[in-house]
Amino acid sequence: MRHTPPRVALFATCLVDLYRPTVGFAAIKLLKEAGCTVVVPEGQTCCGQPAYNSGDKADAQDIARSVIALLEPYDYVVVPSGSCGGMIREQYAALFAADPEWKLRAERLGARTFELVSFLVDVMGMTGVEARYEGMATYHDSCSGLRELGIKGQPRALLATVAGLTLAEMEDAEVCCGFGGTFCVKYPDISVRMVSDKVERIRATGADTLLAGDLGCLLNMAGRLQRLGHTVRVRHVAEVLAGMTDAVPPIGEGQARQGGAR
Amino acid sequence: MLTTSPAFKQNATTALADAGLQKALANAKAGFMQKRARAVAALPEFEALRDLGRDIKNHTIAHLDFYLDTYARNVEAEGGKVHWCETADDARRAVVEICRSVGARTVTKGKSMIGEELGINEHLEAAGIEPIETDLGEYIIQLRKEPPSHIIAPAFHLNREDWIEAFREKHTELAPGRVLDERKTLIDEARTILRSRFLAADVGITGANMLIAETGSSVIVTNEGNGDLTQTLPKVHIVLASIEKVVPTLEDACTILRLLARSATGQDFSTYTTFSTGPRRAPDLDGPAEYHVILLDNGRTSMIGTEFQEMLRCIRCAACMNHCPVYGAVGGHAYGWVYPGPMGSVLTPSLIGVDKAGHLPNASTFCGKCESVCPMKIPLPKMMRHWREREFERHLSPSAARFGLGVWAWFARRPWAYRLATRIGAGTLGFAGRKRGRFGSLPLAGGWTGGRDMPAPEGETFQARYARLRKQGLV
């Protein structure tokens, strides 16, 4: 048993910072409920993935160095995204393959870095949440979280304890939604086709709510659902687990349409 | 072979709008995935086999000179001949020379991706030698005069209607009113036509799934048996193989065979697995009088010692493309050269240059599915990223993208400027989109909003709100 609560640095990610601050506050609430002391280190920007995946290694390394330096002092780093979490946990060390000093620092930080929901379940031993959400949800497994970090059962286990919520599995939940960072604007035709397939799978479940753990995928799926006029409510899983769905309308829904009704 | 890889984007758009192609892709893809999943689930040691396969190939590639020498020595000890070909040109010349030396008029061919890499059919035709594809999928695309769209199922892009149409058009010697609506009738018809070609062929050309150093054997796996007829009936058997196909021992080959069919078609083993060692010996009942191996490099040795070396483990099972959502959306022809899908996105830039194939490693979401099903555990996304790095270093990536990335990186490295810019950006967009919650179009965001709405931000950035609430003691 731990006597002093772990000091957890929340790395909010650039998309949460820019698009969906509520996810950051939901993460803080959940981490506190799990018994953590939460710090939001000042000066955080982005994990550097756009540069890394565009082949711009020098910029990615620059950004990674400042993220490592910023987050090193804490017991854990928690990220409300499998993609950005995977970047820090798995890819930073690869980025510094030729630089032993930074590689070591990257590895040490990586070993203490977790995606939010898997951290709550696997590290903090959380088995349930005090939250209520009326609806039938389907959960999309985002690629990096699933294949890089092994996130599959953790969000489902916690969602099962949300009062009022039922979970309907979609077919091909593990198939990419077509976001892929810059891929979605570099190859929009292919990306839209992939997200259209995903939308069909979502619709086939009859669920009124779509949840996932990565904002990039959520923006992509919400954007396509709404372009096609479907009224599925799209939310980051942390919003539901933290019981903060009253704080903000679903992704892509305005103040006038809160709740997804139309 | 001609490449249309530089036009990948247009190829993809055309493919997405091709209803026939989309139907064929949807039909074929699901079957491959389900069958592989079943086969893998039925073999508890599959994961351990993957490690073993990876280690065998890593060891072999690390000692490639030794195993190739051993292999070649053993081929020759068995009476075969090895033709060391550094380039595709060398290989084409060698094949044509062998055919001419026996006065060949027709050549039967088993399925071979090296054959595609060499464009061997065109070269044989130019030399006045008629090549006849005997693999059913290859046969139909030869009739249709198009390249394969998949490395183990060449006609992946076709529907049954396309087969019927091609057979009616090309098999003019048969009754026009015949019934051709079933898979079996199509196969029977192809078999009838091909039977006489097998018997008439002077030379048989096959590929090789593996070369075995300790025995000097080549291995082919097929499900139709056509490969066996191709290599045993004619006077001359030519094996087309690239250098990375070599494995040290018969036992190593068997380990890899256990991975190959399961990963490829979901079979425990393919229907025919045939080992060929040298030409016919005195007591043999059949077999060719001459056995030649065209051992092709064509750029592969230049991958050794680079970040692309691991690609040489590939055993061409096609699991990566069978599971790839991008391949599944656009099909194989869009990739524009011999090898499509994730393995092609890594290999093609190595073989024809990243300046021509630059799109391929970019057209991936890095979803990682390919790596997760690769029997050789090849880190395909990692290597696609390495290609993006090479492109970035050589300034081959589009200038608008580089500019955008540069601006973004400038801000990302300067937290104060970043905070300011995101506050303004999120505030403006959040305010403009607060009622509807999203945008149908936005300046400079056509790539996104062409097919999707753009959700509006909440308005205040996380960091701004956190700082504000913290000051108020609320968080």
pLDDT in tens, B229-278: 999 999 999 999 999 999 999 999 999 999 999 999 999 999 999 999 99
- The Cα B138–Cα B141 span in angstroms is 5
Q: Does A48 touch chain B (CB under 8 A)?
A: yes
In the predicted structure, residue A256 carries a pLDDT above the cut 70? no
> CA of B447: which chain A residue's CA is closest?
A185
* Angstroms from B378 CA to nearest CA on chain A: 15
Q: Does A253 touch chain B (CB under 8 A)?
A: yes
Location of structure tokens 């091609």: B166
CB contact under 8 A, A176 and B367: yes
Query: Residue A198 in 3-state DSSP?
Result: helix
> CA of A41: which chain B residue's CA is closest?
B463
CB contact under 8 A, B461 and A66: no
In the predicted structure, residue A169 carries a pLDDT above the cut 60? yes
CB contact under 8 A, B392 and A22: no
* Angstroms from B340 CA to nearest CA on chain A: 15
Q: Does A171 touch chain B (CB under 8 A)?
A: no
* Angstroms from A103 CA to nearest CA on chain B: 17
Residues of A in contact with B475 (CB under 8 A): 25, 28
The residues, any chain, with a CB within 8 Å of residue A81's CB and separated by 6 or more, are: A13, A15, A16, A115, A116, A145, A213, A214, A215, A216
In the predicted structure, residue A2 carries a pLDDT above the cut 70? no
Q: Does A127 touch chain B (CB under 8 A)?
A: no
Task: Supply the pLDDT for residue A255.
Answer: 78
Location of structure tokens 């009936």: B233
Cα dihedral angle (A74, A80, A83, A88), rounded to 10 degrees? Answer: 0
Do the domains A128-257 and A7-121 match in fold?
A: yes
Domain ranges (residues) in chain A: 7-121, 128-257
Q: Does A33 touch chain B (CB under 8 A)?
A: no
Confidence at A261, pLDDT banded by 50, 70, 90: very low
- The residue type found at B406 is G
Query: Residue A115 in 3-state DSSP?
Result: strand
> In 10 A of CB B460, how many CB atoms?
15
Task: Supply the pLDDT for residue B398.
Answer: 86
Task: Supply the pLDDT for residue B401.
Answer: 86
Residue-wise pLDDT for A51-90, tens only, equals: 999 999 999 999 999 999 999 999 999 999 999 999 999 9
> CA of A185: which chain B residue's CA is closest?
B447
Location of structure tokens 């656009």: B330
* Rg from Cα positions in chain B: 26
- The Cα A3–Cα B53 span in angstroms is 47
Hey, which CATH number is domain B5-301, 3.40.50.10420, 2.30.30.760, 3.30.70.100, 3.10.20.30?
3.40.50.10420
* Angstroms from B302 CA to nearest CA on chain A: 21
- The residue type found at B3 is T
How is domain A7-121 classified at the CATH fold level?
A: Rossmann fold (3.40.50)
Domain ranges (residues) in chain B: 5-301, 403-471
Query: Residue A32 in 3-state DSSP?
Result: helix
Scanning A135-154 for CB atoms below 8 A from B yields: 143-144, 147-148
- The Cα B431–Cα B102 span in angstroms is 80
How is domain A128-257 classified at the CATH fold level?
A: Rossmann fold (3.40.50)
Residues of B in contact with A21 (CB under 8 A): 458, 460-462, 465-466
- With b meaning 16 or more CB within 10 Å and e meaning fewer, what string describes A25-38? bbbbbbbebbebeb
Could you list the pLDDT tens digit for every one of the 475 residues in chain B?
A: 689 999 999 999 999 999 999 999 998 888 999 999 999 999 999 999 999 999 999 999 999 999 999 999 999 999 999 999 999 999 999 999 999 999 999 999 999 999 999 999 999 999 999 999 999 999 999 999 999 999 999 999 999 999 999 999 999 999 988 998 888 999 999 999 999 899 999 999 999 999 999 999 999 999 999 999 999 999 999 999 999 999 999 999 999 999 999 999 999 999 999 999 999 999 999 999 999 999 999 999 999 999 999 999 999 999 999 999 999 999 999 999 999 999 999 999 999 999 999 999 999 999 999 999 999 999 999 999 999 999 999 999 888 889 989 999 999 999 999 999 999 999 999 999 999 999 999 888 889 999 999 999 999 999 999 999 999 998 8
> CA of B17: which chain A residue's CA is closest?
A189
In the predicted structure, residue A165 carries a pLDDT above the cut 50? yes
CB contact under 8 A, B452 and A220: yes
* Angstroms from B419 CA to nearest CA on chain A: 8
Task: Supply the pLDDT for residue A1.
Answer: 52
